[in-house]
Amino acid sequence: MLEGFLVKAIGGFYYVESSSHVIYECRARGVFRKKEVSPVVGDHVEIELDAQGKGTVCTILPRKNSILRPPLANLDLLCIVSSVCDPQPNFFVIDKFLAMSEHKGIEPVLLITKSDLQSPEEIRRIYRHAGFRVFVVNTMEDGDLTEVKELLRGKVCAFTGNTGVGKSSFLNRLAPQLALKTANISQKLGRGRHTTRHVELFRLEELDCYVADTPGFSTMDLARYDVILKEDLQYCFREFAPYLSDCRFTGCSHTVEKGCAVLKALDEGKIEPSRHESYKALYEEAKQIKEWEL
Ligand SMILES: Nc1nc2c(ncn2[C@@H]2O[C@H](COP(=O)(O)OP(=O)(O)OP(=O)(O)O)[C@@H](O)[C@H]2O)c(=O)[nH]1
Ligand SMILES: [Zn+2]
């Protein structure tokens, strides 16, 4: 029995890396299918090796967190990527990912790209004010590249963001050896995009970290992401925390109530209007979820 880290899953094969960075190709034991759990990338697993060196995943060790789309486990950091423009930042999408991260107990940070095209000041101000770490980069100059590298050191991290924001371009910059296909290249090759993507964690030796470039999503996909109950949503907006116990009514939804301390903080400029807008929209979404759908 050997313990390892699942770094890649493709077509029913699992690639498990040992502590000495040897990678074993494995199948999963049938019992997982019956139990409706299957190993996902990021899992710490135990494998058994046969005489030919082929492995079988026997045990999935307890996960500290997991996300569904793409399937990944044990993330230390979710790096939410947005460009200043082209495409325009979608605050609702960013806030939804931030909320999901908080809900799952994964530390979120914001990475702003394409700062060569437009000033990142406003978006940086909003998210710093809301209590997040914000990093700015572009492909022309370093920006906060060094800071991002330090942040990644020793961690397992996923990058997520709307299609075209520049995730692959940034990851290529971070680790040229990864040579992920950027839009330009795949167009040149005339390949359809999003066709051959699989889930994989890339090890960056220099930083002793693992990164996953998750396929770009369109806002349409978002509705199918993990759901947050409306009662839990308030705890997924970190800047609301100082006010939650001061609302006049217990069970306050922080959307319309008189005597709501969150709304008061919003009026006083302590909470960003766009953040509260996203909260209200997510609250409405959460209200639509019926118990039986969970
Ligand atoms: N001006 C400018 N263009 C950039 C920057 N970063 C990326 N781009 C361009 O934006 C386009 C999309 O970049 P990608 O890196 O493929 O974006 P992605 O987020 O990986 O997209 P998906 O693979 O669809 O998720 C490409 O044409 C890049 O050349 C930047 O900092 N500045
Ligand atoms: Zn309230």
Locate all alpha helices (DSSP H) within the chain, ordered by sequence. Answer: 31-34, 91-104, 121-129, 145-152, 167-174, 183-188, 230-233, 261-267, 273-288
58-90 pLDDT, tens per residue?
Answer: 999 999 999 887 789 999 999 999 999 999 999
Ligand 1 atom showing the smallest separation from residue 169 Cα: 15
Q: What residue ranges line ligand 1, CB within 6 angstroms?
A: 113-114, 116-117, 138-139, 161, 163-169, 182-184, 216
Instruction: Give the tens place of pLDDT for each residue, 259-273.
Output: 999 999 999 999 999
- List, as residue ranges, the binding site for Zn(2+): 247, 252, 254, 260
> Among the atoms of ligand 1, which is closest to the Cα of residue 217?
25
Residues lining ion ligand 2 (Cβ < 5 A) are 247, 252, 254, 260, 262
Feature table: binding site for GTP: 113-116, 161-169
Q: Report the nearest-CA residue for atom 1 of ligand 1.
A: 114
Angle at 103 between CA 98 and CA 108, to 5 degrees: 35
Task: For the chain, give the mean pLDDT.
Answer: 88
The ipTM estimated for the assembled molecules is 0.97
Ligand 1 pocket test, candidate residues 182, 217, 218, most atoms within 8 A of CB:
182
Highest mean pLDDT among 134-138, 174-178, 225-229: 134-138
Select from 257, 239, 235 the least CA-distant residue to 248.
Answer: 257
Q: What is the DSSP string of 21-80?
A: --EEEEEE-THHHHTT----BT-EEEEEE-TTS-EEEEEEPPPS-EETTTTEE--SEEEE
Please tell me the distance between residue 119's alpha carbon and the centre of ligand 1 in angstroms. 17
> What are 293's two structure tokens?
């759908």
Separation of first and last alpha carbons in the chain: 37
Cβ atoms of 41 and 8 closer than 8 Å: yes
Rounded mean pLDDT, 263-290: 94
16, amino acid identity: V
* DSSP, res 35: T
29: tokens are 């034991």
Rounded CA gap, 252 and 262, in Å? 10
For 248, other C-beta atoms within 10 Å of its C-beta total: 10
Contact of 128 with 184, CB cutoff 8 Å: no
SS3 168: helix
Report the nearest-CA residue for atom 12 of ligand 1. Answer: 164
15 C-alpha vs ligand 1 centroid, how far in Å? Answer: 29
Distance CA 276, CA 55 (A): 50
Distance CA 203, CA 7 (A): 9
pLDDT of residue 191: 40
Residue nearest to atom 23 of ligand 1 (CA): 216
* pLDDT tens-digit series, residues 80-137: 999 999 999 999 999 999 999 999 999 999 999 999 999 999 999 999 999 999 999 9
Locate 166 and state its tokens.
Answer: 């520049």
Asked whether the predicted pLDDT for residue 156 surpasses 90, the reply is: yes
pLDDT of 21 > 80? The answer is yes
Query: Domains of the chain, with CATH numbers?
Result: 2-62 (2.40.50.140), 67-222 (3.40.50.300), 227-293 (1.10.40.50)
User: Quick one: pLDDT band at residue 186, thresholds 50, 70, 90?
Assistant: very low
- For ligand 1, mutation pick of 169, 184, 199 (most atoms within 8 Å of CB): 169
Give the residue, 126 or 10, on which the prediction is more confident.
126
* Average pLDDT score over residue span 134-153: 94
CB 19 within 8 A of CB 26: no
Out of 125-134, 159-168, 169-178, least confident range: 169-178
